[in-house]
């Protein structure tokens, strides 16, 4: 009887399953797009056939939650504007729940998603998008160090773990995508967004982008439910701005674009499978990026085989008309963006909102609308939103801002801090009675508390901020009045007199380096000297005759000549995590041996621009009158509390062909009395090229930890693709001939040996 019942049960189940795919009065066919086992391509195709023109265009649009997405008394509260926008469905919404706690955000986004699905004729979910410069850009998330801090670690695995945490925290808030990371190469410190990107170097940025995208996306496997999709930006050349000002033209040669600007984006597509790409505000050779089919279709799609979606930067399709002035009308602007390959219009009411009318007048546009709508829908299927659109709210606090993630933030901070100078004052001894003066305009309220948790009972502290650098106005900040700054300096000096050692926290605040938004905002500077009277502050502190340790916090490279000259020690911290002051104290008292390396070159003056280490060799021929022709600190530079010794380089062969590799090796020895980490850097210099070549290029690095007296052999495989560049005919070629191979601790401190690339073909 039991076996009989089992057979009946199986039969009923089979019949029920079969009936769900057959047409009867009671059991309609399950549409293909609702079938989880169907291929994504067939689901997209099926859904697209069922959609009206207006519904398709709705999938190609995104608006910001500040239009009226709120959470009141545990319930979703939508403005009439938002309700109207959602009548036909929506591609996505930016930053829903950004000002709510993680749990509230998850509940809000669940209710928002439910509303979208319920009010969509076909039940199409929306995706919710964030930013992630310091972790998830939302209240209650772990605040990690900035991307440029990540590069200073020179630690691929650590950076991937950071972005893995970011991806998990974002998904648990009910978010699905992030308009990050930035693959831009940053070489102009006048540009206020410098710290949002990773470095001045193509190879280092490429490695960081691969780590970041893989981390955010959970190696792509996490996209179904545990992680978010990366939208790599700004494609392409965004940071190469004339005058270093946001929205300015981009002056860049085609060869530099291909050899130096493209590689991080190409790696994001080919190696990390980024889910999205954001187009650049700027232009390339006069062609606006949002209206550039060569860039967004020929290069991105045809050459690199990108299958994801392309989103505009904020309002940039509309700006083709009223700002870039390459379109006579808003209709023309929408048409340019559509044909070029922009799939999703961010924010604008004067761009893709016009497409339904335009397509009815010109039905040929439907093929492009279908193309873009399909790419957006494909993204939603990849993210698993049709099967699992909601968040398990009770599990949010098990993932977001956990002790594990806070410790990870501190770990990244420890490895990103760069020791720029040390005359022997560091590390301080916490076993001796010592009074610290924590002073300076970049001092924040957590410094004393976090230091106290590290320094021990023998160390006492006094603190005095003195003054703020700016008035903190978000749009156009102003420097604090000189009188107030001088009064603040007097307060700082008076406080510092009480101490044995002075810790001066200086550099820049969040307002001295920031994004200059389209209207009513500035964030770029025409000087890279420390703002205000900070140099004067250091000179006054130096007169006290006490050791001065400078803690440099900033978001753009600064020409810190006075700091470098007067400081007894200087730590470059960039923009650390919320745990950053713990790490500074740990480094300062020798609990952590600093191992960060500079991801940029530090100039002595803004007049040296361009100053990146890999500029063309001919640029180094002449300097300037009355000035040193060298940077203040070189790319890749960073000191340690121990001493590392490099052996001479050994090569497996002094010749290679296009079909062979050679191995370059050195032995690294820790000659000091402390355990420490060193980043061994590999540079290549093409001695004779078909076109004018860079002075040198980073092509590899490895971070190694050694105990006192320990040695380790470090090897790099030199492959033919490392020697490629764009030749006279604008095609990739191999640089046959002689190369100099350099291995060392920075771009200026290395051992060198030559090898030759010969053709192995007859």
Among 326, 304, 247, 303, CA closest to 280: 247
Query: 676-686 and 655-656 as β-strands: parallel, antiparallel, unpaired?
Result: unpaired
CA distance 724 to 731: 10
Neighbours of 305 (CB within 10 A): 9
What is the token pair recorded at 250?
A: 């981009």
Cα–Cα separations (whole angstroms), residue 86 to 80, 83, 389, 477: 10, 5, 17, 37
| Helix locations, 470-522, DSSP H | 482-496
Contacts of 687 (CB under 8 A, 6+ apart): 737, 738, 739, 740, 754
Q: Which of 461, 481, 457 is nearest to 471 (CA)?
A: 481
What phi and psi, each to the nearest 5 degrees, are found at residue 583? -65, -40
Catalytic residues: 313
Angle (deg, nearest 10), helices 580-588 and 447-455: 40
Instruction: Tell me how far CA of residue 227 lies from CA of 47, 183, 383, 463, in angstroms.
Output: 25, 20, 9, 42
- State the CB neighbour count (10 A cutoff) for residue 474: 11
Residue 8: partners with Cβ closer than 8 Å, 6 or more residues away: none
| Nearest Cα to Cα of residue 103 among 393, 347, 415, 469 | 393
The CB-side HSE value for 755 (13 A sphere, CA atoms) comes to 24
Pair of tokens at residue 573: 């911290």
Of the candidates 176, 110, 164, the residue with the CA atom closest to the CA atom of residue 392: 110
CA 309 distance to own-chain centroid? 19
CA distances from 328 to 320, 333, 356 (A): 9, 8, 19
């Amino acid at each position: 009887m039991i076996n009989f019942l089992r057979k009946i049960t199986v039969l009923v189940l089979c019949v029920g399953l079969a009936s769900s795919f057959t047409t009867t009065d009671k059991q309609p066919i399950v549409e293909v797009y609702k079938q989880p086992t169907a291929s994504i391509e067939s689901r997209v195709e099926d859904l697209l056939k069922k959609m009206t023109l207006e519904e398709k265009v709705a999938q190609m649009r995104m608006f910001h939650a500040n239009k009226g997405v709120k959470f009141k008394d545990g319930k979703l509260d939508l403005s009439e504007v938002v309700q109207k926008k959602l009548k036909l469905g929506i591609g996505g919404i930016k930053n829903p729940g950004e000002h709510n706690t993680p749990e509230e955000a998850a509940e809000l986004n669940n209710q928002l998603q439910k509303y979208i699905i319920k009010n969509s004729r076909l039940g199409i979910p929306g995706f919710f998008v964030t930013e992630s410069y310091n972790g998830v850009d939302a209240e209650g998330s772990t605040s990690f160090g900035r991307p440029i801090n990540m590069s200073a670690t020179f630690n691929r695995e650590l950076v991937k773990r950071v972005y893995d945490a970011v991806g998990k925290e974002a998904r648990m808030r009910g978010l699905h995508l992030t308009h990050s990371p930035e693959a831009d190469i940053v070489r102009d410190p006048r540009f206020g967004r410098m710290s949002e990107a990773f470095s001045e170097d193509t190879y280092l940025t490429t490695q960081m982008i691969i780590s970041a995208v893989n981390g955010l996306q959970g190696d792509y496997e996490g996209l179904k439910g545990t992680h978010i999709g990366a939208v790599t930006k700004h494609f392409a050349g965004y940071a190469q701005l004339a005058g270093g000002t946001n929205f300015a033209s981009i002056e860049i040669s085609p060869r530099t674009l291909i050899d130096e600007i493209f590689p991080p984006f190409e790696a994001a597509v080919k190696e990390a499978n980024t889910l999205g790409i954001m187009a650049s505000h700027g232009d390339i050779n006069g062609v606006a990026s949002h209206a550039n089919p060569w860039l967004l279709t020929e290069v991105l799609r045809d050459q690199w085989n990108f299958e994801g979606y392309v989103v505009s930067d904020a309002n940039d399709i509309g700006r083709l008309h009223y700002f870039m002035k390459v379109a006579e009308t808003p209709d023309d602007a929408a048409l340019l963006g559509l044909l070029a390959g922009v799939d999703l219009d961010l924010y604008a009411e004067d761009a893709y909102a016009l497409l339904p009318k335009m397509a009815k007048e010109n039905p040929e546009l439907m093929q492009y609308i279908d193309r873009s709508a399909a790419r957006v829908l494909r993204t939603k299927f990849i993210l698993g939103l049709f099967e699992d659109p909601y968040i398990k709210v009770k599990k949010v606090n098990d993932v977001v801002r956990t002790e594990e993630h806070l410790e990870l933030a501190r770990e990244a901070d420890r490895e990103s801090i760069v020791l720029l100078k040390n005359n022997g004052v560091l590390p301080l001894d916490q076993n001796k009675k010592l009074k610290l003066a924590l002073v300076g305009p970049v001092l924040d309220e957590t410094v004393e508390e976090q230091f106290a948790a590290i320094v021990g009972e023998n160390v006492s502290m006094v603190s005095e901020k003195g003054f703020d650098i700016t008035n903190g106005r978000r749009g156009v900040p102003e420097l604090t009045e000189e009188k107030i700054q001088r009064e603040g300096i007097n307060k700082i000096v008076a406080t510092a007199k009480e101490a044995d050692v002075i810790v001066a926290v200086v550099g820049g605040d969040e307002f001295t380096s920031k994004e200059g938004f389209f209207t009513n905002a500035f964030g770029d500077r025409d000087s890279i000297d420390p703002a205000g009277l900070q140099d004067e502050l250091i000179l006054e502190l130096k007169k006290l005759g006490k050791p001065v340790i400078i803690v440099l916090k900033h978001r753009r490279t600064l020409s810190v000549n006075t700091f470098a000259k007067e400081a007894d020690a200087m730590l470059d911290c960039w923009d650390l995590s919320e745990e950053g002051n713990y790490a500074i104290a740990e480094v300062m008292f020798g609990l952590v041996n600093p191992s960060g390396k500079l991801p940029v070159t530090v100039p002595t003056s803004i007049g040296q621009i361009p100053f990146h280490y890999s500029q063309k060799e001919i640029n180094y021929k002449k300097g300037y009158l009355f000035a040193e022709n060298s940077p203040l600190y070189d790319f890749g530079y960073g000191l340690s509390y121990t001493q590392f010794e490099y052996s001479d380089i050994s090569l497996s062969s002094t010749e290679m062909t296009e079909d062979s590799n050679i191995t370059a090796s050195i032995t690294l020895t820790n000659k000091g009395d402390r355990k420490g980490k060193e980043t061994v850097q590999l540079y290549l210099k093409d001695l004779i090229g078909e076109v004018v070549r860079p002075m040198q290029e980073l092509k590899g690095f490895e971070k190694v930890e050694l105990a006192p007296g320990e040695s380790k052999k470090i090897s790099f495989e030199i492959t033919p693709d490392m020697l490629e560049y764009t030749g006279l005919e604008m095609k990739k070629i191999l640089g046959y001939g002689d190369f100099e191979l350099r291995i060392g601790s920075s771009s200026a401190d290395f051992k060198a040996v030559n090898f030759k690339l010969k053709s192995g073909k007859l």
